[in-house]
């Protein structure tokens, strides 16, 4: 009888171990998926002060267990698309990184596509976040940082 109890306990322990994943049930891509609102600051070598754009929206969509797509349409800088970005984290702070493209131009019909990189962090409550797009081929290197809430006081 003791041996049967031992086997039962061993089997339950084995099933419990197999059913756990490394993130304790947290799907990183689902944890960061959503629509983020805030403002962006664009920095480049031809401007001593960052250019601020208010009332911006950025969308992150889960595309797999650890991958997302990122979409941001800036009213000043064009459209940014990142697919297959990798998400890491386990319920505290999540990090996102990937490569994509931006479509931008000075006027309608003159848009060109440029390579960009994307990095970001998202807190577990999704109210603390920071996203950065780097576009090295534009204006000596363009860096757009997307942050929550209102623009900074000048």
Give bridge partners of residue 118 from the DSSP assignment.
Answer: 98, 133
Give bridge partners of residue 122 from the DSSP assignment.
Answer: 94, 129
| Cβ pair 58, 74 in contact under 8 A | no
Asked whether residue 17 carries a pLDDT value surpassing 60, the answer given is no
Cα 134 from Cα 100, distance rounded (Å)? 10
Dmax (CA) for the chain in angstroms is 81
Domains of the chain, residue spans: 26-148
Asked whether residue 14 carries a pLDDT value surpassing 60, the answer given is no
Asked whether residue 23 carries a pLDDT value surpassing 60, the answer given is no
Contacts of 124 (CB under 8 A, 6+ apart): 31, 91, 92, 93, 94
Please, is 10 exposed, middle or buried when counting C-beta atoms within 10 Å of its C-beta (0-12, 13-18, 19+)? exposed
- 26-148 CATH fold: Porin (2.40.160)
Asked whether residue 36 carries a pLDDT value surpassing 80, the answer given is yes
pLDDT tens sequence across 102-121: 998 777 777 899 999 999 99
Q: Which residue has the higher pLDDT, 43 or 110?
A: 43
pTM of the model: 0.79
Q: Identify the CA nearest to 111 among candidates 81, 147, 69, 83.
A: 81
In this structure, of 21-25, 47-51, 58-62, 65-69, the range with the lowest mean pLDDT score is 21-25
């Amino acid at each position: 009888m003791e041996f049967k109890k031992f086997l039962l306990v061993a089997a339950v322990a084995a099933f419990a171990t197999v059913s756990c994943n490394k993130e304790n049930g947290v799907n990183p891509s689902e944890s960061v998926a959503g629509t983020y609102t805030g403002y962006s600051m664009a920095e480049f070598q031809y401007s001593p002060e960052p250019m601020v754009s208010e009332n911006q929206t950025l969308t992150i969509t889960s595309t797999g267990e650890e991958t997302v797509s990122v979409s941001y349409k800036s009213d000043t800088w064009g459209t940014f698309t990142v697919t297959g970005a990798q998400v890491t984290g386990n319920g505290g702070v999540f990090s996102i990184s990937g490569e994509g493209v931006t479509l931008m131009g000075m006027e309608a019909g003159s848009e060109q596509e440029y390579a960009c990189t994307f990095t970001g962090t998202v807190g577990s409550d999704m109210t603390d976040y920071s996203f950065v797009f780097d576009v090295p081929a534009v204006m000596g290197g363009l860096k757009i940082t997307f942050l929550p809430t209102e623009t900074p006081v000048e």
